[in-house]
Amino acid sequence: MTLTRKDFPKDFIFGAATAAYQIEGSQFGGAGPSHWDTFSATPGNVVGAESGAIACDHYHRYEQDFDLLKAGNFDAYRFSTSWSRVLPEGRGQVNQQGLDYYDRLTDALLERGIKPFQTLYHWEMPAALSDLGGWTNPDVHNWFGDFVDIIDDRIGDRMEAIATINEPWCASFLSHFHGIHAPGLRDIRAAARSMHYVLKAHGEAMTRLRAKGRKNLGIALNFEYAHPATEAKEDLRAAATEDAVYNKWFIEAMTQGTYPAEALEGLEAHLPKGWQDDLKTHIHQPLDWLGVNYYTRKIHAHDPNATAWPYTKPVDGHRATTQMGWEVYPEGLHHFLTRMKNDYIGDLPILVTENGMAWDDHLKDDAATDPERIAFIQSHLAAMKQAIDEGVNLQGFMYWSLLDNYEWAEGYDKRFGIVHVDFDTLKRTPKASYHMLKEALKRD
């Protein structure tokens, strides 16, 4: 059975998501370098040392891309406004061209009847601030707050909703502990500090936007189901530790004003002095909605050879995997939607701000058939519907992503789009999944 708009509540929002660095083309329009421009220029960090310099050239082609959204019967579009485009040095001189661009982009969405969902930080940390430590600098919340004021003054009044930060776990732990994303550090002190300061920056942005009367403020957290490899005590503990760092740290801090004990065990010694006060003054404050990004699960085991916390290692699972090597596990989406309601936010509105899959799609006779993606979307829609039927206040879903794009450390190999992009010609070709959604999202 194919789920369609009719299977969801009347005002349920269907959208597609992107992020500035992944599609715009960072070399256009006077943007300054971000830490992704420098990270990708360092051998070994990104497949093929590819960067977002041109990406999908969305900077020049947004009208065409928004025509696709409209023709696809989408209600909404989630995008990010790049800090380094608006403030090339991160602070000080504003790039007017950047503000003008986001202004035009907002109007182009509204003209087509598409609701704009803005993300204020989707990883475009200006290189000049990265030089000063980026997310590990104790002033970063003020720098971010100033950027937020500037961009909000220009377009904030026309946003349907605003998310402060995209995936704080990725911006901090993945990037400062695992070293997989920019700035590519592997340092527990930097990890702990960035995990704290990214939340403080979220709080600062909330406070500043509230002062301007904004009532549509949230954040997009990513969740990954943490499965124990076996029922052995050590493996249960490994999964609980990973779950705490990934899935509890950020939501618990914002909604309860505490950090989970299993994560503090490794991280507390590295947090900045006064962190408990920041939880009270900045981090623990109401949200208007919560964004949930969900892709997969991971299986965790105790690592007997590990010499340092967290003493865990990933284990292969048995589910089908995507082009990213991620297991397809829609049960995990249902799990997090109900868990958010039961453990943290009650009836606060939730949006699935990202969910999707990469596949090695090829064009044949100017079309792409992607039955794997169609099945993926349908199985995750079913998980969302089940959660709604059980009383979760889920109000929308944004597919990741509208376009094939720059998949960070994976370069351009991994294709998440419902629209195929030829990275030589930049031609867009809607895939079968786009046509499936277009049909499913038809309004009467």
Q: Which is nearer to ligand FCB, 37 or 354 (CB)?
A: 354
Catalytic residue among 224, 252, 354, 372: 354
Interface positions with ligand FCB (CB under 6 A): 19, 22, 166-167, 170, 222, 293, 354, 400, 407-408, 416
Q: Dihedral sign, CA of 262, 340, 253, 407?
A: positive
Which residue number, 130 or 405, has a Cβ lying nearer to ligand FCB? 405
| Residue 405 beta carbon to ligand FCB: minimum distance, rounded to whole angstroms | 8
Provide the β-strand partners of residue 293: 222, 354
Asked if residue 200 lies in contact with residue 168, where contact means CB atoms within 8 angstroms, the answer is no
Helix (H, G, I), strand (E, B) or coil at 342: helix
Q: How many helices (H) and strands (E) does the chain have?
A: 17, 11
> Peptide bond preceding 310: is omega within 30 degrees of 0, i.e. cis?
yes
What is the chain's percent helix, strand, coil content, to nearest 5?
45, 20, 35
Indicate the SS3 state at residue 81. coil
User: Of 259 and 416, which has the nearer Cβ to ligand FCB?
Assistant: 416
Please, which residue, 19 or 440, has the CB nearer to ligand FCB?
19
E strands, 245-357, where? 290-302, 312-315, 350-354
By beta-carbon proximity to ligand FCB, the closer residue of 310 and 356 is 356
What is the closest distance, in whole angstroms, from the C-beta atom of residue 304 to ligand FCB in the complex? 30
Neighbours of 373 (CB within 10 A): 26
Q: Does the annotation mark 265 as catalytic? A: no
Q: Is the peptide bond before 138 cis (omega within 30 degrees of 0)?
A: no
In sequence order, the 6+-apart residues with CB closer than 8 A to the CB of 390 are 338
* Beta-strand relationship, 312-315 and 217-228: unpaired
> Minimum Å distance from CB 108 to ligand FCB?
22
Q: In angstroms, what is the minimal distance from the CB of 264 to ligand FCB?
A: 25
Least separation, in Å, of the C-beta of 350 and ligand FCB?
17
For residues 57 and 22, what is the distance between their CA atoms, to the nearest angstrom?
A: 10
Quick count: other Cβ atoms within 10 Å of Cβ 14? 20
CB of 220 to ligand FCB, least distance (A): 7
Alpha carbon distance 339, 221 (integer Å): 13
Closest CB 156 distance from ligand FCB, rounded Å: 22
The pair of three-digit structure tokens given for residue 324, joined into one six-digit string: 């990213």
Name the H helices within 79-180.
83-86, 96-111, 127-130, 140-155, 168-169, 175-176
Q: How far apart are CA 210 and CA 315, in angstroms?
A: 44
Closest alpha carbon to 175 in 415, 409, 414, 412: 409
Helix (H, G, I), strand (E, B) or coil at 434: helix
Indicate the residue among 8 and 77 with the shorter CB distance to ligand FCB. Answer: 77
Give the nearer residue to ligand FCB in terms of CB position, either 171 or 279.
171
Residue of 24, 167, 204, 327 marked active site? 167
Q: Is 354 a catalytic residue?
A: yes
3-class SS at 309?
A: coil
| Residue closer to ligand FCB (CB basis): 155 or 292 | 292
Q: Give least dist CB 49 to ligand FCB, A.
A: 18
Residues annotated catalytic, as ranges:
167, 354
